[in-house]
Amino acid sequence: MSENRVVPGMIFRNEFILPESAKDTGFDGYINYINREAAVSSNEDFGKYTDYMSRKTALGDCSVFTEKKDFLTKEEKKELKAAFRQAQKNGSILWRPVISFDDNNRWLEETGLYNREDGNLRTDKLKEYTSLMMSELIARENLSGALWCGSIHFNTDNIHIHIAMAEIHPTREKGKFKYRNIEAAKRAFVSAALKQQDENIKISKLMRENILSKIRQAEFQSDEGMAEKLYRIYELLPEDRRLWKYNNNAMKKVRPNIDELTQQLIEKYAADDFEELMELLKKQEKIYLRAYGGGEDGSSNYIENRLKELKTRAGNTIIGRIRDYDSKIRAEEFRKRKSADGTEKQKRKAYRKKNDNLLRKSVYELRRLMKKDIESMKNQAAFERLQAEIEEEEITK
């Protein structure tokens, strides 16, 4: 092992027992095991493990807890053991994970979960984080029907948490968990523990209320170079405005331009805040290294990940400024278009009025001519009748 490697502050160790290893006594033997001092053997009654988990010690109460309840009544413990017995009867594996912490519980102290001076331990938080861890593990291992219980133990120098898990309706024959799933479960526990630390709250507040706020209020008009970069980003954005999100794949080509502008904005408006942020991140990275152990070279991605988070938030803030600019441009274009449309409508209205007048005049003239022709035709007919009458009279004389 490398000399630079950090010893993990939180350790997850998994053991499991196949049902045939305890066929003589049943799964509740392991539940009883948690209620007694002696170590368990491979053929114990696993259901009894809850008794061992619930025993009282000089340092505190090792009450059994589950995903839904922090404390169980006697009747609920009986029901729990009965469920584990049924799981074994149905052929389930019994998993027995143990969460332990580094020497002298230093990591628990660093995260504010344990006070060495008064011996106070935040058991409520440990139960909460254990539930998060087990939910993550169960989901990743596709054990949706699994039943589990846990108990915090104080009987050694290192505080540790025993867990028992089985499937009432078994779905698998192998007990080994995938490494990546165990790591994801550990991250769920550690992230929840560190998220509530004062330092993490300071980091989030510094990013949100200081750095990002100043980027949001930056006056681009006062810096021609930055204004030009902002407009360049605007030109490179996809036509579909629904894709205007920093981490969208469609933003891949424009992302470096956004990052460059982010860096300049931070240097101009939030340099001191960013320096303070880096100090806090370095401090937190050491705590994360203590939790996970880091890589072989003692490295961690904590700082890199938090800076990516800052880039994403800053990038979306800049895009938000561009959206505002884009909305104003589109509103102005719409106003001009509407104004132009109004002028055109007036022209069409005047044209129609003029044509209507011409049409009415034409109709009037047509009617006048038709009336004249009709009168002329009537007169001609009358004249012809008169002529006929005269001619008829002359013939009869």
Q: Which residues contact 84 (CB under 8 A, 6 or more apart)?
A: 26, 27, 28, 30, 31, 46, 47, 49, 50, 94, 147, 164, 166
Residues 10-195, CATH architecture:
2-Layer Sandwich (3.30)
**CA-to-CA distance for 31 and 47, rounded, in angstroms?**
4
Q: What are the tens digits of pLDDT across the range 5-50?
A: 555 788 899 988 887 665 555 566 666 665 544 332 333 455 555 5
Q: What are the tens digits of pLDDT across the range 248-300?
A: 999 999 999 999 999 999 999 999 999 999 999 988 887 777 666 655 444 56
% of the chain beyond a pLDDT of 90 = 30
What is 225-275 written as a DSSP string? HHHHHHHHHHHHS-SSGGG--TTSGGGTTTHHHHHHHHHHHHHHH-HHHHH
Residue 363 is encoded by which pair of tokens? 């109709």
pLDDT band (50, 70, 90) for residue 74: confident
**CA-to-CA distance for 118 and 165, rounded, in angstroms?**
33
Any bridge partners for residue 10, and if so which? 101
pLDDT at 38: 35
What does pTM read for this prediction?
A: 0.53
Q: What are the tens digits of pLDDT across the range 146-170?
A: 999 998 887 667 889 999 999 999 9
Q: What are the tens digits of pLDDT across the range 216-230?
A: 888 877 788 888 888
Q: What are the tens digits of pLDDT across the range 172-214?
A: 888 899 999 999 999 899 888 877 667 777 888 899 889 999 9
Closest CA to 291 of 107, 98, 97: 107
3-class state of residue 359 by DSSP: helix
φ, ψ (nearest 5 deg) of residue 161: -125, 120
The more confidently predicted of residues 292 and 119 is 119
User: Where are the domain boundaries for CATH 3.30.930 in the chain?
Assistant: 10-195
Mean pLDDT of the 328-332 span: 76
pLDDT at 41: 31
